[in-house]
Structure 1
Amino acid sequence: MGTTALSVLEQRLSETVDDWISVSTTTNITTNTSVISTNLNSYDFAQDDFFNDWYVWIDGTNNVGVERKISNYATSSGTITVYGAALAAESGAVTIRVAKYEQRQKDLAINRGIEQLYPAVQQPLDDITLITGNIAPNAHFDGQSTSGTPDKWAHTNTTGAAETTIIWNGSRAVKVTATSANGYLLLTSATYRRLLDLMNKTISVRVMAYPETADDATIVIYTEQADGTSQTLTSSTSAPAGAYTRLELEDQELNDDLVLVEIRLKIATDTKYVIFDDLQINGHNIYELLLPLDFQNGDLERVYVQRYG
């Protein structure tokens, strides 16, 4: 099924309801509440206050998708004054849209229309990355709302980039580069509480790793109890450079009464990278799975479970 960009749908809807004015600024936006374009004179009937209480949407470099309500308009200079805090400065002309209706309301109308047209308009999704019994969220690192930082994960002395070429499964992996020795990609119970369900369990952690330098990647399980007792468990799987290897830290007994559980995907050497994909954390029966980000706002129609093979 073909697709149409949201920006195209927005323009078509706006044109249909006679609410499409798109022009370029004629004076660079600076750190105040003014947006200036004499190109608006073509639409204002030479009247001050013509656009008062309308909305201006900015497609800028430093004001990306910023939308503000207009408090005042002066036709002589094409100056819009907006409510709210000062805008960010722009180094050149940017495109603005001036409209009677707020952009988010138009987007909501588009989404409601698509819902009504289902199933004539839909995007079917098939996903085979979820693994029964795997407590790890976003285990294939496909969900990256911020590119290079998988959802539910964080960087400690590392930086990240989305990897779409050297992948093991799913649509993307994560390329993690150490900014100091022994940096790591972190999944912690401080932000993902379900990891605490692993206390007093025997668990196995596995991940596919593609290191720049041989034997540079390890899995670390770190735990803490309320009395301060800590536990550090580290994998010892050999991993050649320039190829995927499954790192394994198997049959590890975690302490009871834990207040912190962390899974760390560690890189030993500063400035070197490792590509990680396909994480599995097994050893605890789970009955709920966190769906991939692509399923957000969708409807789950059917689930197949592979029981062997």
Structure 2
Amino acid sequence: MKTATAAMTANSSAPIISVCGVNKTYAGGFQALKKIDLDIKRGEIFALLGPNGAGKTTLISLICGIVKATSGTIIADGHDIMRDYRAARATIGLVPQELHTDAFESVWATVKFSRGLFGKAPDAAYLEKVLRDLSLWDKRNAKIMTLSGGMKRRVLIAKALAHEPTILFLDEPSAGVDVELRHDMWRMVRTLRAQGTTIILTTHYIEEAEDMADRIGVISKGELIVVEDKAVLMRKLGKKQLTLTLRRPMTGIPAGLSAWPLVLSDDGHALVYSFDAQEDETGIADLLRTLGEHGIEFKDLRSRESSLEDIFVSLVHRPKGTQE
């Protein structure tokens, strides 16, 4: 008979990470996390966004078992992170923000050690592939202290992958790295996801989350304020904006147009109409017809959709209790 843990691990439909009722209060009374409930799906790329100090790194540290939760439970690939730490941690690879490396070790020695640390049998072919994928193979015998900052970041990724984890955390992986590494890293992330690895990333480069993630979580002041499929989030909370360049400048918007959410530019040369992304676009045709009835002519129009960054900013600055 399978144990409950084994059954959960075998069930691919179960979330690979389950965070339930987690709170974290540090000495002195600072509450870094407040009742976090979060399920992360097996094989997805999940982006955790939030301003500095919001609790992103604390949440990652709790899931990885680096920090102990004040209350609540965390399950990683079927293992309770506190009661079965070694088994849970063996499923996780972590690329931290800080460049902590074994400065006097060679690249090869440090990734080989990382693999053995988790009880994995030696596999030179696998480690070679990881180093080649990260453009580190030519540096395998170099001492880490001699590498550039970008190369040291690559070593951290190689260490995190050395034991073939099913879950990979990338905590601000693009911070301070060159464009080439960023492209290499995201190419590898896509490959890992295709192979079934679950990726959780935090990033200040919101365009990367917009490009890479399947789902988005936004955390602010220790609270998880939204978790949603990326496409659904952008459809629900996104805005569209239509800018009409006028043939003749206006000094004000006629009273007959007060029902429309129009804003006149400071120089009077443009009207801006904002509407929900999910709104029926026949409303635009009605607006243009109404403008014509008021003798307002335009010579150009252009539209713009909200980016994920726009939505993120609106969420973290929205008054508490008004999230949709």
Give 1 or 2: higher strand fraction. Answer: 1
Give 1 or 2: higher helix fraction. Answer: 2
Structure number with greater CO (CA < 8 Å, separation at least 6) is 2
Q: TM-score, normalised by structure 2?
A: 0.24
Q: TM-score, normalised by structure 1?
A: 0.25
- Larger gyration radius, structure 1 or structure 2: 1
